[in-house]
A and B are shown apart, each in its own frame.
Chain A
């Protein structure tokens, strides 16, 4: 596969951890040249994140639903089982996932319970390009005062996320990946103000 399952996944994990601990921080991971030969319908960053976090003990779901080949490949690479949205531990939304499909899935995915808030789904969402200019204004734990993160999150998506996290500590954690090896996170503790809301 051309990926060092020990050191590469450790490197990716530390970048995810850094971005999760400091929401809005964009981390860059080393994307292996050989990975381009794999011709999967997801970014290498997404595949690396999946290889880092998934194994036979967890389940995943892929959006949009027609990504059958990717579903099989990720299952083969990680040994994780594909599961319905309502049961999946990880939900991977690859580029081209329609807003409606993503919002609907977000509203029904696992949210954890007040007793076990860790039983919620973690999302891996593909973005065109991550940047720190404009877009969402973030505040909360891990952020000194405020941070900016530019993602193509629509108002409906922000509203769906808000619906899921309104009863903190239950809620979902989001990991965004892009084509050039960048990733950023929005844990449930982050307060998000959409640029359009400010207008």
Chain B
């Protein structure tokens, strides 16, 4: 098959991890046949460097092999890094000598040259040269230490020729190449308190790999100098810890916010979203025109906006949304991910999935006489969706009162609905102030602009829909927590390969990262990350991204699986305890009750295996131990057993993965928080 491979455009970094799997020893064997024995040959060019040469030998013993390879390439890197800056000041051979002396530490070399008292160049501001890769202040003194003439023989500085700081440098210099080993280094760095020596070794291997790869690809020569040049300009600082990377990547951008539309069937969720996207110019005219024609053909002209998000044949034919649809647009301050959800009772599982990914929500109600009431009745979705929002931790909410044109823009009707909703929402427990926005999705009034020429609507002068969206606050992103990514969709991405789409719960992921999929216990490598069809290098908590994986895991992955950092795996169990609150629904829970468990995008049959205790709603004190049953509105601690093991996390550790929703016979009967993993 090799002739089918496009070798030229092959991404070596995709394969690099395979080599990582080999043990360190075998690594070294590979390199034993390295191109040079320069190590052992005295080079006259290294004027007077014979001392350092011997020093080298003395310290090398068994790790010599590494050094041989390292020597050439690293020398080149350092030489290139220093560039022509110092050539004017000192001779080429002197420079080389210094590079050896300072273990390829670029700063140290530069420092040593610039600090040379007789050079008289002190006036140079150091940071001008090394802004891109300067060490943090507290590390600096340590690195400056080796400015003494004779290279110290203590293992600390010389050990195997690799001071940790070296890799740090390389790390910085090559960060743009996104090679996996670099990323791995970052990981290692972030665990800075761990054994320093061990860390150094690991980095060594990674560095070697990288060098080896680069050499194969010729990448090093072609690319490194460029990156190095960049690094000398004061550009954005790259640090190893996730928070800093997040800051650097995202600080300049607008905030991300995902927004879900919920509400009863036919309240006009999709239409409002479609209209919004159309008015903002997000829908190509060609597509819109096509939709217009087609909807006219089957006599459903009013669905033309909804079709922007309802893409499948089935949805269009029936005129309802069945699965969550997503789209993106930008407001003045934010990038908004829109999630459209189905309003039909049968598709509540999809709504749960959508809400789990959302930060804020729009609750759409139909102002038409009778329609609002049906949606608001106990069987209506307005109530169920509201409860779901609350149960899944969405706190910011705005109510859209749609189709106000059908009631002649009546202010009274609007006020009545606002009163009803406000009462209910307060009762459910929404604390943050809630905005009420009147609009008409189909005619586009008060979506992007408030059309002033409708006389009857002149009573309203509040914000438009877009302004409301802009007013939402972005929640805090737990970027510094371990990686959790919930799989929402598995598909083949044309031109990229096997991809999984989902929601970043916590942490960050970068291209080249090794990830662990649980509960199927598969490791995979992230080959690429896509965000709205754009390739990116990092994804952070709160993002909705596609991860392109290096291999096909079609059989081993399922929707609802969690992807995590192999070093911090998410707990997997099939039995756990949860604190649940039963909704106001006429269903009784006893032990043995088969329920459908929803957690993030996971849907799994489960059984209530024990009812531990009933709990006082407000105080949280246990009322009764092991009650026989749970009726509506009761709070309790229960033990839940699933058929297959699932990923769970305590609620305190993860906002989303720690939340569950229980459904029976198509009704959401309870929602809860995971309190104990058994």
Question: A and B: partners?
Answer: no
